[in-house]
Structure 1
Amino acid sequence: MGRTSNRSVERAFALVDELAENGGGSVSELAERVEMPVSTAHDHLQTLVETGYVRMEEKEYQTTTRFLEVGHRQRHRLEVFKAVRDELETVAEETDEHATLFVEEADQAVILAVQEGPDAVNLFAYPGARMPMHAVAPGKAMLASMPTDRVEAIIDRQGLVELTSRTITDPDVLFEQLEEIREQGYAVDEGERIAGMVCIAAPIFDKNDRVRGAICVCGPQSRIDETRRDEIADVVQRAANVTQVNLDYV
């Protein structure tokens, strides 16, 4: 009975993930896309409609903003989000670029908050977006702050998928870079997830020296030369330190 119930939940979330990733569709289209019998897909979709998480319009199913409500409430419960809100806005204003707060969840780097400076490019970055930790500066900043055995476990589970020609796919190279990140206090991603973009991130620690997230600034490679990288690195490190102090009072 328990396994059957679990399988039912898995199938329902497979439909939710498909709707979120690739948009709406009819019951037959969705069933085909997730390789599920039409009758089973119909039952799960009807339940999701009844609970308010999915709606049907013109014979197509779509997710509702109920998921946004759930995520928004959870975000406001996280201490690191409360501690960084004002500081993230300051980072965006000082750098004129795209500033984000990341946390680690289920072995991935997840955007928790976004602030755009006056010159920020459109990165289609939004709260809840998930990325491989090894391919983004904030992910590497957090990995560098974790014990080696935990990093190895994340690599074993997630792999080192190649997103661009510059993505690190060799574990030895990654560990060498993580050591360098620990020494300098910040991480850099040079086109490793998005070609032509440079991202610089610093880890956020709490009073017990546990990594709680990372603050990141991203901008076009043409705007972020070596001198500006040093300036941005100073900004994100200072912001991470202020956030660490704020965490004690949340």
Structure 2
Amino acid sequence: MVALTAHLDLCRSLILLPASYGYMDENTTYSSEVKTAVRVFEIIEAIREKNEVGVTELANELDIAKSTTHRYLTTMEQAEYLIKEDDKYQLSLKYLDHGVYKRKQILPWQIIGQTLKQLSSETSEIAWFTVEEHGKGRDIYKSEGDRAITVETWIGQAKPLHALAAGKAILAFTPQDRVREILDTQELEKITEQTISTRDALLAELEEIREKGVAFNDEEYTKGIRSVAAPVFHDDDVVGAVSVSGPANRMRGDRYRQELPELVLGAVNEVELKMQSTF
């Protein structure tokens, strides 16, 4: 209980930090609290980008006083969101704790894990489970087959939905008002020569995905990599997508258009049945 109280006091001191600098009225205090929270996230992003930073470097980067910067960093370290080594601050593994917790709330490994392992074994490629969050795709589970090609990506990385087979599979079965909201706020960036970059073209492909039940990524996110995906439903809502990705020279012809889609759809069916008996 003492430890919990101390942690809460640290959090309050972080949020209310600017309130002692002459802010008196309620609206101004509220505004300062919001600015403080925004600053915390700026610090997190800056440290992630640089891997580790010192007080002076971060103060210059964010254009804030060294004393204020030190106060933020010390509070965040005491709350265990940062670690300090040789006067340099790094992100801690506490973020991993939060991420793993959230992942389990979406879909426990006990439900998806064995299916992904089987799918990656059958295809010899990488099998993924992807969800949508804030209009972006995030891979939250994966299993690698014996011929899997490791690409420059990692669990939890935010990716554009329109450039992913899994992302398009999710969008195709997402309520239309939510799709419009995502498309209004997310740029359809042309990542490779193959990437869909216009709304009309994307909407036409989403209609085709709804008819076939599977989505394809033909070197649209990474040159030389193709993937096949299908949506996962629970209580008639799309909760994510299962996909398989691999090198384009192995994912072509009937294997790409027929064999892999059938395997992915089989994996999806298995996951949905497990979800029905669990939730």
**TM-score normalized by the length of structure 2:** 0.84
| Aligned match of 1:175 | 203
Bigger Rg, structure 1 or 2: 2
Say whether residues 1:190 and 2:218 are aligned partners: yes
Mapped to 2, the partners of 1:67 and 1:52 lie a distance apart of 10
> For the structure 1 residues 12 and 116, does the alpha-carbon distance in structure 2 shift closer, same or farther, using more than 3 Å as the test?
same
Counterpart amino acid of residue 17 in structure 1: E
Matched, 1:210 2:237: yes
Unaligned runs of 5+ in 2: 1-28
How much has 1:89 moved relative to structure 2?
Answer: 0.8
Report percent identity of matched pairs.
32
Secondary structure of 2:202's counterpart equals helix
Segments of 4+ moved more than 3 angstroms: 31-40, 79-82
Partners of 2:219 and 2:199 lie apart in 1 by 18
Q: Structure 1 residues 135 and 57 mapped into 2: Cα distance closer, same or farther (>3 Å)?
A: same
CA 1:223–1:58: 2 relative to 1, 3 Å: same
Counterpart CA distance in 2 for 1:7 and 1:102 is 33
Deviation of the 1:35 alpha carbon: 4.5
Q: How far apart are 1:59 and its partner, in Å? A: 2.1
- 1:64 to partner: Cα distance: 1.2
Q: Which protein has the bigger helix share?
A: 2
CA distance in 2, matches of 1:35, 1:137: 41
Can you list the C-alpha shifts for 1:8-64, whole angstroms capped at 9, x where unaligned? 111111111222244112223233444544433322211111111111212221111
Query: Matched residues in 1 for 2:128 and 2:260: separation?
Result: 13
Change (3 A) 1:156 1:234: same
SS at match of 1:248: helix
**Cross-structure match for 1:236:** 264
User: What is the deviation of 1:168?
Assistant: 1.2
**Aligned partners of 2:69, 2:142: CA distance in 1, in Å?**
35
Q: Greater CA deviation, 159-168 or 107-116? A: 159-168
Higher relative contact order (CA 8 A, sep 6+): 1
Q: Give the partner amino acid of 1:215.
A: V
Say what the alpha-carbon RMSD is for the aligned residues: 1.6
Deviations 1:117-170 (CA, angstroms, capped at 9, x unpaired)? 000111243321111111111111000001222111101111212222221110
1:122-137 maps to which residues of 2 (within 5 A)?
122-137=150-165
Q: Kindly tell me: are residues 111 and 60 of structure 1, through their superposed partners in 2, closer, same or farther at Cα, counting changes over 3 Å?
A: same
So what's the TM-score if we normalise by structure 1? Answer: 0.94
Name which of structure 1's ranges 24-33 and 143-152 shifts more when overlaid on structure 2: 24-33
Give the one of 73, 85, 91 matched to 1:57.
Answer: 85
Deviates more, 1:126-135 or 1:80-89: 80-89
**CA–CA separation in structure 2 for the residues paired with 1:71 and 1:12:** 18
In structure 1, the gaps of 5 or more residues are none
1:75 aligns with one of 103, 107, 113: 103
- Asked whether the 8 Å contact 1:113–1:126 carries over to 2, the reply is no
AA matched with 2:34: N
Is the Cα contact below 8 Å between 1:76 and 1:82 reproduced in 2? no
SS at match of 1:194: coil
Q: Pick closer, same or farther for the CA change 1:39–1:135 going to 2, 3 Å.
A: farther
